[in-house]
Amino acid sequence: MPPTFSPPLNPDVAVLAYDGLCTFEFGIAVEVFGLPRPEMGPGWYRFRVCAAEPGPLRAVGGIRVETDAGLEALMLAGTIIVPGWRGAREPPPAAVVRALRDAHGRGARLVSLCSGVFVLAATGLLDGRRATTHWRYLPTLAELHPAIRIEPDVLYVDEGDLLTAAGSAAGIDLCVHIVRRDHGPRIANQVARRLVLPPHREGGQAQYVERPVPLHDGSRLAGLLDRLRRRLAEPLSVAQLAGEARMSERTFLRRFAEATGTTPGDWLVAERLAHARSLLEETELSIERVATECGFGTAATLRHHFRGRLGTGPRAYRARFRAA
């Protein structure tokens, strides 16, 4: 059965504004929750912008933002949205952290878009909970907040009272999801159509990552890894790789995990998928030929790994990302 969630305390939505405001993510919150929608009736959201610090506040793009409310207004909101934060390693003001904790303790649900997750993480409320953010920030989030259970390959995570979105555009997906939670699929579909957006997007953010993100230093095996990237079409076994590295298989597996954070098999699948994505984007090779060139052998195997790792198929990926 799908999970059930409590409705928000009230229809009041507050979005944080701060100096260095990420304009796009802020605009997403305004577009979904702040536009007048009289056709939705009296139960629709009431929207407010709350200043996280004294203003006027500068936003990306040379815009200045002035608000009529401060952090005290967060205590009146059923939903609080934090747009992308101005710096992954810049701690949010202590007053903001306290206000978010107090609002959450009162029952408000907290939402982050893109790097806004670093503000929620600073409250400690995400510890032991699932969360996501833009793929470029995942290693930093893991480093700074190791207690968070990071979901790297999704567009958003809904933990009921704590919701986090991946990259900027994934914030739209999450906001439409919130509408679906609060008002049902029919209303959410209406909002999605207004945004010229499918109600559900296929796949997760893994399909947008340029290359697999290394989580550990790979210097000890860097030479071997570079050679393997040039030989992805070949069948490669652990015994063969250990021999080339001049190690026992047991030592090789341990050193490989230390260097890459994964197993040789998983690493090869990730690298082969990266190569397949490049071929799909930049060439007209058939799916079968791409599978052979990347070491998957058959189109069925390629499709299996594409679906498992990227949440989409090679043909759909090519249609979306094929170079003009």
Tens digit of pLDDT for each residue in 194-240? 887 765 565 566 655 555 544 444 445 777 888 888 899 999 999 99
Same domain for 263 and 194, yes or no, is: no
Say which CATH number the domain at 274 has.
Answer: 1.10.10.60
The amino acid present at 139, given as its one-letter code, is P
Q: What CA–CA distances, in Å, run from 50 to 43, 92, 241?
A: 22, 15, 57
Could you give the CA distance from residue 39 to residue 223 in angstroms, rounded to a whole number? Answer: 62
Same domain for 173 and 284, yes or no, is: no
Taking only the tens place, the pLDDT of each residue in 235-273 is 999 999 999 888 999 999 988 887 777 889 988 998 899
Question: Which token pair is 258?
Answer: 């230390």
Residue with tokens 């009230």: 10
* Cβ proximity of 191 and 244 under 8 Å: no
Q: What's the structural domain count of the chain?
A: 2
Could you give the CA distance from residue 115 to residue 279 in angstroms, rounded to a whole number? Answer: 31
Residue 293 lies in a domain: yes
Same domain for 154 and 261, yes or no, is: no
Same domain for 174 and 279, yes or no, is: no
Residue 236 lies in a domain: yes
Residue 3 lies in a domain: no
Same domain for 140 and 286, yes or no, is: no
Same domain for 116 and 183, yes or no, is: yes
Same domain for 195 and 272, yes or no, is: no
Could you give the CA distance from residue 246 to residue 251 in angstroms, rounded to a whole number? Answer: 10
Same domain for 69 and 127, yes or no, is: yes
CA angle 109, 23, 25 (to 5 degrees): 35
Taking only the tens place, the pLDDT of each residue in 24-68 is 999 999 999 999 888 888 889 999 999 999 878 888 888 888 888
Domain boundary among 157, 178, 208: 208
Taking only the tens place, the pLDDT of each residue in 130-164 is 999 998 999 999 999 999 999 887 888 999 999 99
| Strand blocks (E) in 141-193 | 149-150, 156-158, 162-165
Same domain for 203 and 277, yes or no, is: no
Same domain for 132 and 153, yes or no, is: yes
Residue 214 lies in a domain: no
Domain boundary among 167, 183, 208: 208
Same domain for 190 and 170, yes or no, is: yes
CA angle 58, 61, 67 (to 5 degrees): 35
Model confidence at 120, pLDDT cuts 50, 70, 90, reads: very high
Same domain for 90 and 172, yes or no, is: yes
Residue 2 lies in a domain: no
Taking only the tens place, the pLDDT of each residue in 270-308 is 889 988 988 988 889 999 999 999 999 999 999 999 988
Residue 213 lies in a domain: no
pLDDT of amino acid 5: 66
Say which CATH number the domain at 114 has.
Answer: 3.40.50.880
Residue 324 has pLDDT above 60, yes or no: no
Residue 237 lies in a domain: yes
Q: Which domain holds residue 244?
A: 219-321
Domain boundary among 208, 241, 256: 208
Residue 5 lies in a domain: no
Which DSSP letter does residue 43 get?
A: T
